[in-house]
């Protein structure tokens, strides 16, 4: 998905501020324009990941021209950040991992105590 970003121009003493109009509360900054754009991509990915963790719907981006007409962003620079939504898929994948037996026993014991499968336990721990 391509999310439009609004970049407030910076200067030698002020960072470039970034707002993602389609994702409420998603913002970032950078000392250079390139850094601001890179940081915007990271902010978008973190915002999307948090929304998915909270079972919230992912807003679709609006066309860039729709945002450009917003007087709130008058004089700002516009860009588009392309986010690979495949990285946010919750599709189940089978994986093969190698662990020392003693660690696997600990995982299995903790999973059993939590009433979860090994996979469920590992996934929950990773999401914490």
pTM above threshold 0.95: no
- Residue extents of the structural domains in the chain: 2-88, 92-128
- Residues 45-49: contacts with CB within 8 Å, 24+ apart? 45/83, 45/87, 47/20, 47/23, 48/23, 48/83, 48/88, 49/88
For residue 25, the model assigns a pLDDT of: 96
How many whole angstroms separate alpha carbon 33 and alpha carbon 39? 10
CATH number of 2-88: 3.30.160.250
Band (85; pLDDT cuts 50, 70, 90): confident
- The answer to whether 16 and 30 have CB atoms below 8 angstroms apart is yes
Tell me the per-residue pLDDT of 99-110, one tens digit each, with 9 for 90 and over: 999 999 999 999
């Amino acid at each position: 998905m391509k999310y439009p970003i609004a970049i407030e121009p910076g200067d030698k003493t002020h960072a470039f501020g970034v707002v993602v109009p389609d994702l409420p509360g998603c913002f970032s900054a950078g000392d250079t324009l390139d850094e601001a754009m890179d940081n915007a991509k990271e902010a978008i990915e973190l915002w999307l990941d948090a929304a998915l963790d909270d079972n919230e719907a992912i807003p679709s981006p609006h066309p860039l021209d729709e945002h450009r007409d917003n007087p709130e962003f008058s004089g700002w620079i516009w860009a588009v950040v392309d986010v690979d939504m495949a990285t946010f898929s919750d599709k189940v994948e089978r994986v093969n991992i190698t662990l020392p037996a003693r660690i696997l026993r600990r995982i299995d014991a903790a999973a059993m105590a939590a009433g979860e499968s090994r996979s469920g336990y590992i996934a929950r721990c990773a999401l914490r």
